[in-house]
C-alpha cells in the first residue's frame, strides 16, 4: 500500500468524524433530559442557583455556539471537562480505555483461536458429529445472553470452585506501575510473574464471556467459507495432482477461506470495543463501556461526545486494518 | 477435534501460576459497592455513592450516628445565637492527612467554596450549593469559632451540614480543582492509598486520627488496617462476591437474594429503614384524576401490604402521606385501606361506571413492582398499562414545574436523606415546585409549608407538618406507597458496623474477625 493511499484514508476520516460529531450533538440536544436537572436531582435549589450552575457548565450558550466551541477545542484534542468528574474528559477516558482494549483483545484471541480451528474441522468433516456439535454450539453461543452466561461462569468458577475471582482486574496487593495501561504487559515489564498470573486469572471469565458470541459467529463464517472454497476447481485440481490433503487444505484452501473471516472479525472487534457494557458490568471490569453508558444516563455531554468520536475512529481504523489484511491474504485485491 | 482441548489446556496452564487466590491482607475490610466515586472533591460531587466513599476520608462539622441523630464531629459544639446565626466551636488538635493542623479558616474556606457563586475558582460553582440553603456568610469570629449567618431562618441547617466535608485551604489552593478531584487530604479515619478508577478505592488507616464524633463510640483510630471499596455494579455479581468471601459487605442486596445470603453459613442480612418514599403521581390536570373520587379509587385499589410482602420480601414500611415513619413530623394518618369494590363504586360515582383506561409511566428498575400495582388497579376498573421509560426522560415529562403535562400516572419516588420534611414535602407538593409531578395546587398547603420551613419552634413545626400531612391525605394527589428498607449482605466476620438510614457506609468503627 502506498503512502498516498494511506493519506487518502486519513483525509476520508475527517468528514466521517465531523458527521458523527454533528449527529451525536443534535441527537443529544433532541433527547429529553436536562443535564442540570439530573445533576441537581432532588436537591432544593433556587432558580438563580440553577442558572449559575447551567452557566458554570457552559450550557447557557446556544447550541450552534456550543458545537462550534466543541469543534475548535476538539481540533486541539481538548474535549472539555466531564460534568461529573471535574476533570478533562480525555483523562477520564484514557484511564478506562486500556482495560477495555485489553479485555477486547484477549476476547478476540480466545475467539479466533477457538473459532478458526473449529470452523475448519467442521467443514472438513461436514455432517459428522463434530460438525453438528459445533453448529449447535455456535447457535447457543450467539443466543446465550452475555449477562446470564457471565453470571453462570461466576457461580461455577468463583463461588463453587473458588478458583477464579468474581470481579476486578488484579488483586489489591499487586501494585503495578502503569506503563502501557495493559496489565498483562505492565506486569511482565515489571518482571512480576505472580502479578501477571493474577491479572490473567481476572481476565479469563470476562474474556470468555465477551468472546463467546464472536467465536460462534466466526466459526460459522469460517465453516461456510471453507466449504465454499473446497468446492473450487483449484482445490479439486490440487487434490487430483496428488498433493497431500493436509497441504491442500492448509496451504491452498484455508488462506482463501479466511478472507471473509478476517472481514467479519474486524467488524466484530469494533462491536467488542463498543459493546462491552454488559460484560464490564457483570465482572466489575473498569472499562469504557460502563463509563459511557453511565454518562448517557446522566447526560454527561462532553464525555459522550468524545467517546462516540473514539468509537468512530476505532471502527474506521479496524476496517482499514481489515482492508490491509485482505491484500495480504489475496494479492489480487488492491486497495 | 484436538485443537479445542489443547486451547483449553493452554489457558488452564497459563492460569496455573496464579491459582493462588487473589491476595488481600487479613485486616482488609472489603465493600462490594455499586458505583465508583466520580470525584474525590467534597465540593464537586452529586451522588450518594461518591459521598459514601469520600466520607470515610473526610469528616464534617457535624455528622450522623447510625440512627440518623445529628452529632458534632469536627465541631466541639454548636450554638444557635439568633434565628439566623449559628456558632460552631472547632475541636483543637485535628490534623489533616498531610500532617497540618486544621483551623477555623479551613472550615470557612470549605463552606465558602460551596456556597459562593464561582466559589470553586475558575468560574466554577459547586453543584452542592443548593444543599446549603440560604447561607449568607461564613465568618471566623475567634481562632476556634466559625459563625454561619443565614439570609432567613432555616431550621434544617444542622440536618444539612453533615453533607459537607472539611478540606484544607492551603492544600486545595496548592493542588487546584483537578488535583482535589483525584487525591485527598481530609481529616477522616482513612486516607487514600490508591484509586483504581472504575475498579476499587483502596484506603488505609490514618493513625493520627483525632477519633471522630465523641457521641459515637468507640472514639479513636479505625479498627481495620485497610478498607477497600470494590466496584461491582451488577447485583448478582455482588452477591456472588459476598458468597465467595471476596467481599465482606455489599450494598443494595436485591430482596430476591435475601434467602441465598441468609442460607450461606458465613453471611447475614442487615437492614435499615431507608429514606426514600415511593408514590404514584396522578395527573391532576388530566381528564380522570382531576376528580378526587378517581384518586381515592386508585388508592383503595392497591394492596400495598401484599406487594411489600411478596415483591419486597417484607422490607418496606407502608405510608399514607409523603413522610417516612422515621422523618421529623411524621404522624399516624387516616388509612385508605384496600377495598377494590369500594374503588369501583367511587369510579362509578365519578361518572366512570365502565372503568377507565390509563397508562402508568415507570423507570425500568421498578417495572415488576409497577406491573403488580397495575394489575391491582385493573381489577378495580382502572385498566392500567405500564410504560417503561428512562429516568431523565420521565423526569422531563412529569416534573414540569407548572407547565402543562401529558400522561396519566407516574410511579416514582423522592429521597429524603435529611429526614426533614423540608427536603421532600415542599418539592413534591408545593404548587409548581420541582418535584410536583401530580400538578397539585393547594394554596393553604403552600402557606403551611412556607411557614414550617422557617419555624424555629420544634413543636410548632412538628404540628404544622402534621396539618400538612392531613391535607394531602385528604386530597390524595398521589397514591402514597411505601418506604423501602436498605438491605445489605454482611459477612459474619464484620463487627462494630451497622447500616445507616442515609445509605452511608461509615467504616471507622468496623472490625474484621
For the residues A199-220, what does the mean pLDDT come to?
Answer: 94
Q: Is A83 part of any domain?
A: no
**For range A144-164, the mean pLDDT:** 93
- H helices of B16-122, in order, are 48-55, 104-115
Mean pLDDT, to the nearest integer, of A166-185? 90
Please report the residues numbered 167 through 206 in chain B whose beta carbons come closer than 8 angstroms to any beta carbon of chain A: 177-178, 181-182, 194, 196-200, 202
Q: What cell numbers appear for B194 in the block?
A: 490508591
Mean pLDDT of all residues in B140-156: 95
Domain residues for the domain of A42 are: 3-75
Q: List CB contacts (< 8 A) between A162 and chain B.
A: 21, 244-245
Distance CA B68, CA B63 (A): 9
pLDDT of residue A313: 86
Residue B140 has pLDDT above 70, yes or no: yes
Residue A114 and residue A201 in one domain: yes
| A315 in any annotated domain | yes
Half-sphere exposure for B113 (CA within 13 Å, toward CB):
25
Domain endpoint, select from A13, A44, A75: A75
Quick check: B25 pLDDT over 70? Answer: no
Which range, of A225-239, B6-20, B257-271, averages the lowest pLDDT?
B6-20
Asked whether residue A252 falls in the same domain as residue A184, the answer is yes
H or E segment and range at residue A27: helix A3-30
The answer on A106 and A15 residing in a single domain is no
A95 shares a domain with A70: no
Residue in B69, B127, B190 with CA at minimum distance from that of residue B502: B69
Residue A274's pLDDT is 63
List residues bridging with B31 in a β-sheet. B229, B249
Q: Which domains does chain B have, with CATH numbers?
A: 2-258+261-268+487-512 (3.40.190.10), 276-484 (3.10.105.10)
A121/A211 same-domain check: yes
C-alpha distance from residue A217 to each of A138, A258, A263, B340 (Å)? 7, 13, 12, 53
Residue ranges of the alpha helices (H) in A89-192? 89-124, 129-143, 146-153, 183-189
Q: A157 and A66, same structural domain?
A: no
Whether residue A134 lies within 8 A of chain B, CB to CB, comes out as no
In percent, how much of chain A has pLDDT > 70? 98
A231-267 tens-digit pLDDT: 888 888 888 888 888 888 888 888 888 888 988 888 8
Does residue A85 form part of some domain? no
Residues A152 and A112 in one domain: yes
A12 pLDDT band (50/70/90 cuts)? confident
- The Cα–Cα gap between B451 and A280 comes to 50
Domain membership flag for residue A335: no
Residues in A closer than 8 angstroms to B426, CB to CB, are 44
Please count the residues of chain B.
Answer: 513
The grid coordinates of residue B476 equal 390524595
Q: Is residue A333 predicted with pLDDT exceeding 80? A: no
A180 with A46, same domain: the answer is: no
Please judge whether A281 and B181 are an interchain contact, meaning their C-beta atoms are less than 8 angstroms apart.
no
Where among A75, A99, A131 does a domain terminate? A75
Residues of A in contact with B181 (CB under 8 A): 85-87
Asked if the structure places residue A257 within a domain, the reply is yes
pLDDT at B504 over 80: yes
Residue range A113-123, pLDDT digits in tens: 999 999 999 99
Name which of A81-90, B84-93, B107-116 the model is least confident about. A81-90
Report pLDDT for B425.
Answer: 96
Q: How confident is the model at residue B15 (pLDDT cuts 50, 70, 90)?
A: very low
State residue A200's pLDDT score: 96
Cis peptide before B494 (omega within 30 of 0): no
- A202 shares a domain with A69: no
Question: Is residue A136 domain-shared with residue A17, that is, in the same domain?
Answer: no
ipTM: 0.86
pTM for this one?
0.89
pLDDT per residue as tens digits for the range B216-252? 988 999 999 999 999 999 999 999 999 999 999 999 9
Regarding whether A116 and A9 lie in a shared domain, the answer is: no
In a domain, A284, yes or no: yes
For residue B38, what are the contacts with CB-CB under 8 A and spacing of at least 6? Answer: A84, A85, A86, B45, B46, B47, B50
Please identify among residues 154-173 of chain A the ones whose CB lies closer than 8 Å to any CB of chain B: 154-155, 158-159, 162-173
Contact yes or no for B237 and A99 at CB 8 A: no
Segment 225-244 of chain A within 8 Å of chain B by CB: none
Last residue of a domain, one of A75, A110, A136: A75
Q: What is the CATH number of the domain that holds A323?
A: 1.10.3720.10
Asked if B430 is an interface residue toward chain A (Cβ–Cβ < 8 A), one would say no
Mutate which of A55, A254, A284 to disrupt the B interface (most B C-beta within 10 Å)? A284
Q: How many domains does chain A have?
A: 2
Mean pLDDT of B172-189: 96
Residue A113 lies in a domain: yes
User: Is there a single domain that holds both residue A131 and residue A265?
Assistant: yes
In a domain, A110, yes or no: yes
Q: Return the closest-CA partner of residue A164 out of B138, B237, B55, B194.
A: B237
- pLDDT for residue B255: 92
- B76-111 confidence digits (pLDDT tens): 999 999 999 999 999 999 999 999 999 999 999 999
Name the band, by pLDDT with cuts 50, 70 and 90, for residue A2.
low
Express the helix, strand and coil content of chain A in percent, nearest 5 each: 75, 0, 25
Instruction: Name the residue facing A49 among B11, B47, B130 (closest C-beta).
Output: B130
Amino acid at each position: 500500500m502506498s503512502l498516498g493511499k494511506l493519506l487518502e484514508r486519513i483525509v476520508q476520516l475527517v468528514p466521517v468524524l465531523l458527521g458523527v460529531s454533528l449527529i451525536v450533538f443534535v441527537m443529544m440536544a433532541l433527547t429529553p433530559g436536562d443535564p442540570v436537572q439530573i445533576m441537581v436531582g432532588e436537591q432544593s435549589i433556587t432558580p438563580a442557583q440553577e442558572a449559575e450552575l447551567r452557566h458554570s457548565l457552559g450550557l447557557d450558550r446556544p447550541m450552534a455556539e456550543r458545537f462550534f466551541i466543541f469543534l475548535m477545542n476538539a481540533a486541539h484534542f481538548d474535549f472539555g471537562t466531564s460534568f461529573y468528574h471535574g476533570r478533562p474528559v480525555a483523562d477520564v477516558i484514557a484511564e478506562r480505555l486500556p482495560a477495555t482494549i485489553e479485555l477486547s483483545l484477549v476476547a478476540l484471541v480466545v475467539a479466533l483461536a477457538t473459532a478458526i480451528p473449529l470452523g475448519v474441522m467442521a467443514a472438513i468433516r461436514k455432517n459428522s458429529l463434530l460438525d453438528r456439535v459445533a453448529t449447535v454450539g455456535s447457535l447457543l453461543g450467539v443466543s446465550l445472553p452475555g449477562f446470564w452466561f457471565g453470571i453462570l461462569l461466576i457461580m461455577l468458577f468463583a463461588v463453587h470452585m473458588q478458583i477464579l475471582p468474581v470481579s476486578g482486574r488484579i488483586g489489591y496487593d499487586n501494585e503495578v506501575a502503569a506503563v502501557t495501561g495493559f496489565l498483562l504487559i505492565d506486569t511482565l515489564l515489571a518482571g512480576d510473574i505472580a502479578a501477571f498470573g493474577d491479572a490473567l486469572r481476572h481476565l479469563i471469565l470476562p474474556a470468555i464471556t465477551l468472546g463467546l458470541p464472536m467465536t460462534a459467529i466466526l466459526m460459522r463464517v469460517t465453516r461456510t467459507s471453507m466449504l465454499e472454497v473446497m468446492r473450487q476447481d483449484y482445490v479439486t485440481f490440487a487434490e487430483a495432482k496428488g498433493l497431500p490433503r493436509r497441504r491442500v487444505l492448509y496451504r491452498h484452501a484455508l488462506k482463501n477461506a479466511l478472507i471473509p473471516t478476517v472481514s467479519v472479525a474486524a467488524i466484530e472487534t469494533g462491536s467488542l470495543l463498543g459493546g462491552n457494557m454488559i460484560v464490564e458490568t457483570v465482572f466489575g471490569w473498569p472499562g469504557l463501556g460502563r463509563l459511557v453508558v453511565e454518562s448517557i444516563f446522566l447526560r454527561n455531554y462532553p464525555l459522550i461526545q468524545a467517546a462516540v468520536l473514539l468509537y468512530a475512529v476505532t471502527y474506521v481504523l479496524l476496517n482499514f486494518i481489515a482492508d490491509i489484511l485482505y491484500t495480504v491474504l489475496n494479492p489480487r485485491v488492491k486497495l | 477435534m484436538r485443537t479445542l482441548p489443547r486451547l483449553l489446556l493452554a489457558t488452564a496452564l497459563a492460569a496455573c501460576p496464579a491459582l493462588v487466590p487473589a491476595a488481600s491482607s487479613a485486616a482488609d475490610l472489603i465493600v462490594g459497592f455499586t458505583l465508583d466515586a466520580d470525584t474525590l472533591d467534597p465540593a464537586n460531587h452529586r451522588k450518594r455513592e461518591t459521598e459514601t466513599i469520600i466520607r470515610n476520608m473526610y469528616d464534617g462539622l457535624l455528622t450522623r450516628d447510625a440512627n440518623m441523630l445529628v452529632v458534632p464531629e469536627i465541631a466541639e459544639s454548636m450554638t444557635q445565637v439568633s434565628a439566623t446565626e449559628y456558632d460552631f466551636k472547632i475541636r483543637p488538635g485535628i490534623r489533616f492527612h498531610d500532617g497540618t493542623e486544621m483551623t477555623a479558616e479551613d472550615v470557612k474556606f470549605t463552606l465558602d467554596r460551596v456556597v459562593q457563586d464561582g466559589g470553586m475558582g475558575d468560574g466554577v460553582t459547586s453543584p452542592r450549593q443548593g444543599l446549603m440553603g440560604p447561607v449568607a456568610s461564613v465568618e471566623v469570629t475567634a481562632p476556634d469559632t466559625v459563625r454561619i449567618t443565614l439570609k432567613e431562618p432555616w431550621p434544617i441547617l444542622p440536618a444539612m451540614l453533615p453533607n459537607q466535608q472539611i478540606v484544607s485551604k492551603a492544600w486545595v489552593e496548592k493542588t487546584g480543582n483537578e488535583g482535589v478531584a483525584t487525591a485527598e487530604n481530609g481529616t477522616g479515619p482513612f486516607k487514600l492509598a490508591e484509586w483504581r478508577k472504575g475498579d476499587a478505592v483502596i484506603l488505609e488507616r490514618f493513625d493520627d486520627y483525632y477519633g471522630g464524633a465523641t457521641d459515637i463510640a468507640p472514639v479513636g483510630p479505625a479498627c481495620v488496617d485497610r478498607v477497600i471499596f470494590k466496584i461491582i455494579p451488577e447485583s448478582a455479581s455482588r452477591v456472588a462476591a459476598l458468597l465467595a468471601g471476596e467481599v465482606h459487605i455489599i450494598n443494595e442486596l436485591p430482596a430476591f437474594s435475601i434467602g441465598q445470603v441468609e442460607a450461606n453459613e458465613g453471611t447475614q442480612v442487615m437492614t435499615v429503614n431507608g429514606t426514600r418514599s415511593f408514590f404514584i403521581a396522578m395527573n391532576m390536570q388530566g381528564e380522570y384524576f382531576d376528580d378526587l373520587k378517581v384518586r381515592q379509587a386508585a388508592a383503595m385499589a392497591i394492596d400495598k401490604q401484599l406487594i411489600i410482602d411478596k415483591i419486597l420480601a417484607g422490607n418496606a414500611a407502608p405510608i399514607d402521606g409523603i413522610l417516612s415513619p422515621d422523618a421529623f413530623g411524621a404522624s399516624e394518618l387516616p388509612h385508605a385501606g384496600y377495598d377494590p369494590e369500594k374503588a369501583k363504586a367511587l369510579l362509578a360515582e365519578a361518572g366512570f361506571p365502565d372503568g377507565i383506561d390509563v397508562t402508568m409511566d415507570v423507570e425500568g428498575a421498578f417495572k415488576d413492582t409497577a406491573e403488580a400495582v397495575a394489575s391491582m388497579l385493573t381489577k378495580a376498573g382502572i385498566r392500567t398499562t405500564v410504560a417503561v421509560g428512562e429516568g431523565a426522560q420521565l423526569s422531563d415529562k412529569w416534573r414540569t414545574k407548572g407547565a402543562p403535562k401529558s400522561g396519566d400516572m407516574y410511579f416514582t419516588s423522592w429521597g429524603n436523606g435529611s429526614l426533614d420534611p423540608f427536603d421532600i414535602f415542599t418539592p413534591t407538593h408545593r404548587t409548581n415546585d420541582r418535584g410536583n409531578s401530580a400538578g397539585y395546587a393547594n394554596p393553604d398547603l403552600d402557606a403551611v409549608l412556607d411557614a414550617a420551613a422557617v419555624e424555629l419552634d420544634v413543636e410548632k413545626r412538628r404540628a404544622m407538618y402534621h396539618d400538612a400531612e392531613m391535607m394531602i391525605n385528604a386530597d390524595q394527589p398521589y397514591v402514597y406507597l411505601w418506604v423501602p428498607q436498605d438491605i445489605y449482605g454482611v459477612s459474619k466476620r464484620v463487627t462494630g458496623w451497622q447500616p445507616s438510614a442515609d445509605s452511608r457506609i461509615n467504616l471507622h468503627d468496623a472490625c474484621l474477625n
